[in-house]
Structure 1
Amino acid sequence: MEYLNDMALFVEVVKAKSFRAAGDATGVPNSTLSRRIGALEKSIGLRLLHRTTRKIELTEAGQLYYESCRRIVEEARIAHEQLGEMLAQPSGVLRASLPVDFATTYMAPLIAEFARRYPGITFELDLTPRRVDLVTEPFDVAIRMGEQPSSTLIARQLARLTPYLYASPRYLKTAGEPTDPADLRQHECIGYPKSGPWVLHKEDATAEVEIGRRFTVNSVGMYRSFAVLGQGIALLAEGVVADDVAESRLLRVLPDWHGSPIPVYALTETRLLPAKTLRFIEFLQERLVTQ
């Protein structure tokens, strides 16, 4: 209600003991302050202030009204500050739907880091390949990879993950190392179902390669495991294989070439989010971009 704002302005005028000083404190012009207080008095039906050229004084009714307004304004300020603290340190249950393999191989350490940062949040994580219904099911957010179909959901892009080519030292020792994308036709390459030819990029150059697929796998975890076990060359995002590369279980192949970036989205039903969900999305945007 607009008169609640007028009550706050009335309190500032009384504290400052003049319209000019109150205007300096609030940034509201003197003329506007005077008009707003006048409208407040008219709506109440009583004069609240005695005005002179030098100062203002409270009427008897104004004194009573001021005491009530001061408490209301102070309680509103405290409530506002408490909500600000809640936003800084959110709490509650965060219910998230995550892709199975992406969550287990990529997001688990990030979620653990987020949990340490916000100890007031508890988690219910649903790892499922199905598309959950954010309207009828009790999820705060769903994380999905790849371009999303048109819908009424709000999609916030978290990152674009660039995949590179990797193979195990054992595989490269046996099969040799490709020096050009065309060489991949003579190699065992691990594929995803219905993924088509590999499209690789190097600066402004693009190469499209039909690959042999002894293994076609719809699980990122299994895909990565086959690469580590020497079953062929895999196209994987850096974050998924970071530990394997650090331990020399996988080596990058054709290091100047990479696959098409894969977008990662956070899907929500609405733009107006509770603090726990907003902080989770912001955290993933911050951390995934560095992966």
Structure 2
Amino acid sequence: MQEFLTDLPLLVAVARQKSFSKAAAISGMSASTLSRRIKLLEKRMGVLLFYRDTRNVKLTDTGSALIERCEFILGEAQKAYDSVVTNMRRPSGLVRVCMFRDMYENHMRGMLLDFAARWPDIRLDLTFAEHSVDLRIDPYDVAFLIGPSIAPPLVVRKLLTIEPFLYASPELFKHHPMPVEPKDLYRLPCIVLERFGHRWPMHNSNRQVLVDVEPKYTFSSVEMCRDFALAGHGIALLRDRLAAPDETAGRLVRVLPQWSGGLGHDVYLVTGPGQLPQRVRLFVDHIQANYASRP
């Protein structure tokens, strides 16, 4: 058991990095030493924890089940250590944050600058990811995710609801008819933001319908969706705040203006279970306070 506890951080590092060489660099040892330690651990336990080839390292089903428990144990140990140390000094350390790029550009820029000014000893490591992440295995303290499919036991805090609308360039309708009903979208070129998917729940004050669109283009970036809509390549779901300057200038028009892109997409601030380290708690409280103060 003592050997297992000693090797536990190494096991988690390999699982997170999906690479013995990267995990070895983080752990301050050679890749061969790390590989030997893991193989010895597997031998002692009598199970295979990782599939290995020349390029990839992947957890076995047994390894995945073990890692899920080990992540919790290691996390709780880190939190216990942090709670003692940070209470004895000014808040400091690293907070690893993951969000969509447009979330930063349209909502978070000022909040993060204010946080950095208020807590200069807390470092932020910000990663932009256009796909959903899983804090049970991905190396982040905080993630901003669009719900509702967020796996337990993660802790979710709703921040806002994004309500997109349909926009297109007037140039598009020189070659295609203007839609009259949401069902007409199926016959028109559509530009799909990957995380919204190609099933668009359209809503007005009286009706809600689900439209299966045929994506002509699919992007993970909302800015690319806007750019292709501006160029006349199709209809895109965009937030009115993002489209407003181009709509005012006549470069974009609202399509089916009485309809919105569903009842909205909820955005959540997500953290792992249990007590948060002080530096992470300060970050979470700062973000929540900023959203709570918005009209």
Q: 1:203 — aligned with what?
A: 205
Q: State, as a whole percentage, how many aligned pairs show the same letter.
A: 32
Structure 2: 5+ residue stretches without partners? 1-86
SS where residue 184 of structure 1 aligns?
Answer: helix
Which secondary structure does the structure 1 equivalent of 2:216 belong to? coil
- 2:219 is paired with a residue whose SS is coil
Please name the residue that 1:183 is paired with.
Answer: 184
Match of 1:114 in 2: 111
Structure 1 residue 159, shift from structure 2 partner: 1.6
Which has the higher Rg, Structure 1 or Structure 2?
Answer: 1
Verify the 8 A CA contact 2:153 2:273 in the aligned structure 1: no
Per-residue deviation at 1:272? 3.5
What is the TM-score with the length of structure 1 in the denominator? Answer: 0.56
| Matched residue SS, 1:259 | coil
CA distance in 1, matches of 2:137, 2:213: 42
Question: Which of 231, 234, 256 in structure 1 is aligned with 2:258?
Answer: 256
Corresponding position of 2:219? 217
Residue deviations 1:107-144 (CA, integer Å, cap 9, x gap):
23533312332312542112235665545665320111
Letter of the 2:269 partner, please give it: A
Mark the CA change 1:91 to 1:238 in structure 2 (over 3 Å): closer, same or farther: farther
One-letter amino acid matched to 1:237: R
In the alignment, which residue of structure 2 is the partner of 1:151?
152
What SS class does the counterpart of residue 115 from structure 1 fall into? helix
Query: Partners in 1 of 2:237 and 2:275 — Cα distance?
Result: 37
Distance in 2, matches of 1:144 and 1:97, equals 9
Q: 1:211 to 1:133 in 2, by over 3 A?
A: closer
What is the Cα deviation at residue 164 of structure 1?
Answer: 0.9
**Mean CA deviation greater in 167-176 or 201-210:** 167-176
Q: Deviations over 1:34-65 (max 9, x none)?
A: xxxxxxxxxxxxxxxxxxxxxxxxxxxxxxxx
Structure 1 residue 234: Cα displacement: 0.8
Contact kept in structure 2, 1:94 and 1:122, CA below 8 Å: yes
| Superposed displacement of residue 154, structure 1 | 0.8
Name the SS for the 1:116 alignment partner: helix
Structure 2 CA distance for partners of 1:203 and 1:113, relative to 1, 3 Å? same
* 1:143–1:264 Cα contact (<8 Å) kept: yes
- Aligned partner letter, 2:189: E
Deviation at 1:174?
4.2
1:266 has 2:269 as partner: yes
Over residues 237-274 of structure 1, what are the superposed CA-to-partner deviations in whole Å (9 max), with x where a residue is unaligned?
Answer: 33443444454432221122112211211111135445
Rounded Cα–Cα distance in structure 2 between residues aligned with 1:135 and 1:199:
30
TM-score when normalising by structure 2: 0.55
Q: Which residue of 2 aligns with 1:169?
A: 170
Distance 1:183 1:130 in 2: 29
* Cα distance in 1, alignment partners of residues 282 and 230 from structure 2: 35
With 212-221 and 160-169 compared, the bigger mean Cα shift is at 212-221
Kindly tell me: are residues 135 and 165 of structure 1, through their superposed partners in 2, closer, same or farther at Cα, counting changes over 3 Å? closer
Distance 1:198 1:290, change over 3 A: farther
Distance 1:166-1:138 versus aligned 2 partners, 3 A rule? same
User: Residues 140, 134 of structure 1: CA spacing in aligned structure 2 closer, same or farther, 3 A cutoff?
Assistant: same
Q: What is the DSSP-based 3-state SS (H/G/I as helix, E as strand, rest coil) of the residue aligned with 2:179? A: coil
User: 2: distance between equivalents of 1:289 and 1:190?
Assistant: 34
- Which of 230, 233, 238 is residue 232 of structure 2 equivalent to? 230
- SS of 1:177's equivalent? coil
CA deviation profile, 1:203-240 (whole Å, cap 9, x unmatched)? 13123334343223344332222112111111123344
Q: CA deviation at 1:156?
A: 1.3
Q: Deviations over 1:50-94 (max 9, x none)?
A: xxxxxxxxxxxxxxxxxxxxxxxxxxxxxxxxx8xx7xxx76533
Aligned residues: 202
Give the whole-Å Cα distance in 2 for the aligned partners of 1:242 and 1:276: 37
Is the CA contact (8 Å cut-off) linking 1:158 and 1:289 kept in structure 2? Answer: no
In 1, Cα distance between equivalents of 2:145 and 2:95: 17
